[in-house]
Amino acid sequence: MKKPDLHTVAVIGTGVIGRSWMAVFARSGRRVRVFDTDPAQVAAALAWFRADLKRQRREGLLKKKAAAAQWELVEAVESLAEAVAGAGYVQESGPERLDLKQALYRDLDEAAHPAAILGSSTSALDMTEIARGLAGAGRCLVVHPTNPPHVVPATEILGGAETSPAVVKRTTRFMKDLGQVPILMNRYVPGFVFNRMQAALVREAVDLVRSGVCDVQAVDDSIRSGLGLRWALMGPFGCANTNADGGVRDYFTRFGSSYQSLWDDLKTDLRFDPELIERIGRQTDRVLPAPLEAQRVWRDRLVLEIRRLKAGNPLDSGRGKRKR
Ligand SMILES: NC(=O)c1ccc[n+]([C@@H]2O[C@H](COP(=O)([O-])OP(=O)(O)OC[C@H]3O[C@@H](n4cnc5c(N)ncnc54)[C@H](O)[C@@H]3O)[C@@H](O)[C@H]2O)c1
């Protein structure tokens, strides 16, 4: 069997995440073989991809030839073995259940070429557990995207106990080649990086509404017209660095004790109940009355515009270095 390269990839599971990965791979010129145990899901994913290419054509983001070329690169197949044949990289996006992922990885490890990398979109599971006992555990790792990966590029990369460091390195390079932004983790922690940070913020958002300090509109505006505008550019540490004249050390020296007393005040025993969810639901419906699909299309279009704007205006880290 010829050693596969990264020009041919397989997408296993074509739900919300798998179909978006399909777009990431096709956009970068990779041949993509897609497989799902439910043929209706494959049909829906292809219809979604076609509609997305059409929308990009309509908005002048893609030439006719380029759209046709992307479409040509995707092939739906009828078995897992056909999907992984000749693939140098496999992106697994099946259901989020340990027993199902373990079974899927057993099949993938058997069917894929030994040199192929097996990446999982899992949002929370530990690759040490998924790949336990597999002959090819060394080529298995978590490659967790932010939804949807063809719009939001940050992608968490994390091996299990047996993952080869070379596989982590190669996958990191591959993700960069695809235009994704690798978020490299050194060890497993529940929720990985995105969801831990998201959980910390959402906990406070829910508690502010629950306790009546403010409503959904105020919480969402504080992010979309406040903190979030900067976070899209710099992240929490970058913001700390630019929020004090002496940079991040000065910021945390001056404001460290304020953060510490707020951390002591944050609730950790918050629980959802149906009344609280309904209250949040009613307020959210008033803030966002447009149909859900229109909200998603608007969000994705503007996220891509922000990315274009950032790419055209990079922060020159070489010049303007702080003098010590
Ligand atoms: N939805 C999100 O926001 C999000 C974000 C990041 C990561 N993820 C992760 O991505 C993975 C997929 O999530 P999703 O939201 O796309 O789920 P989904 O339910 O939309 O899609 C899962 C797909 O896997 C298919 N499937 C089931 N068993 C299969 C098998 N043995 N072989 C091939 N296909 C099979 C199903 O038919 C379905 O189409 C999960 O691990 C999830 O945690 C989800």
CATH of the domain at 268: 1.10.1040.10
pLDDT for the residue 166: 98
Closest atom of ligand 1 to 14 CA is: 39
Does 169 lie in the same domain as 28? yes
Tell me if 144 sits within 8 A of 123, measured CB to CB: yes
Does 133 lie in the same domain as 37? yes
| Cβ of 41 less than 6 Å from ligand 1 | yes
The preferred substitution site among 80, 96, 198, 202 for testing ligand 1, maximizing ligand atoms within 8 Å of CB, is 96
Residues 151 and 124: their CA atoms lie apart, in Å, by 21
Q: Which tokens belong to 318?
A: 């070489």
Per-residue pLDDT of the chain (324 residues; tens, 9 = 90+): 688 999 999 999 999 999 999 999 999 999 999 999 999 999 999 999 999 999 999 989 899 999 999 999 999 999 999 999 999 999 999 999 999 999 999 999 999 999 999 999 999 999 999 999 999 999 999 999 999 999 999 999 999 999 999 999 999 999 999 999 999 999 999 999 999 999 999 999 999 999 999 999 999 999 999 999 999 999 999 999 999 999 999 999 999 999 999 999 998 899 999 999 999 999 999 999 999 999 998 999 899 999 999 999 998 765 555 544
pLDDT for the residue 268: 82
Q: How far is the CA of 215 from the centre of ligand 1 (A)?
A: 33
Nearest to 181 by CA among 143, 139, 131, 140: 143
Residues 148 and 140: their CA atoms lie apart, in Å, by 22
> Tokens 């510490």 sit at which residue?
260
Does 127 lie in the same domain as 86? yes
Residues 255 and 86: their CA atoms lie apart, in Å, by 55
pLDDT for the residue 324: 46
Residues 146 and 17: their CA atoms lie apart, in Å, by 9
Q: Which tokens belong to 159?
A: 């091996």
Does 124 lie in the same domain as 40? yes
Q: Whose CA is nearest to atom 8 of ligand 1?
A: 123
Residues 236 and 293: their CA atoms lie apart, in Å, by 30
Does 232 lie in the same domain as 173? no
**What are the Cα distances from residue 303, in Å, to 83, 143, 149, 219, 224?**
31, 21, 12, 20, 12
- The residue range of the domain holding 14 is 8-184
Tell me if 124 sits within 8 A of 42, measured CB to CB: no
Closest atom of ligand 1 to 38 CA is: 37
Give the CB-side neighbour count of residue 249, counting CA atoms within 13 A. 3
Q: Whose CA is nearest to atom 11 of ligand 1?
A: 93
| Cβ of 95 less than 6 Å from ligand 1 | yes
In a domain, 285, yes or no: yes
Does 161 lie in the same domain as 254? no
Cross-sheet strand order for the sheet of 181-184 = 74-76, 31-35, 8-12, 89-92, 117-120, 140-145, 154-159, 181-184
**What are the Cα distances from residue 130, in Å, to 162, 169, 215?**
11, 20, 41
Q: How far is the CA of 260 from the centre of ligand 1 (A)?
A: 39
> Tokens 């041919």 sit at which residue?
8
Burial of 67 (0-12, 13-18, 19+ CB in 10 A): middle
Q: Which tokens belong to 234?
A: 């710099």
> Pick from 135, 156, 184: which residue ends a domain?
184
Tell me if 83 sits within 8 A of 34, measured CB to CB: yes
| Cβ of 38 less than 6 Å from ligand 1 | yes
Q: How far is the CA of 185 from the centre of ligand 1 (A)?
A: 22
- Give this prediction's pTM: 0.93
Does 173 lie in the same domain as 202? no
| Cβ of 155 less than 6 Å from ligand 1 | no
Does 38 lie in the same domain as 123? yes
Amino acid in the structure at residue 96: E
Does 144 lie in the same domain as 19? yes
Does 280 lie in the same domain as 135? no
In a domain, 3, yes or no: no
Strand 117-120 relative to strand 140-145, pairing: parallel
**What are the Cα distances from residue 213, in Å, to 207, 208, 216, 259?**
9, 5, 10, 19
> Pick from 151, 184, 217: which residue ends a domain?
184
The preferred substitution site among 121, 157, 194, 198 for testing ligand 1, maximizing ligand atoms within 8 Å of CB, is 121
| Cβ of 122 less than 6 Å from ligand 1 | yes
CATH code at 33? 3.40.50.720
Does 89 lie in the same domain as 60? yes
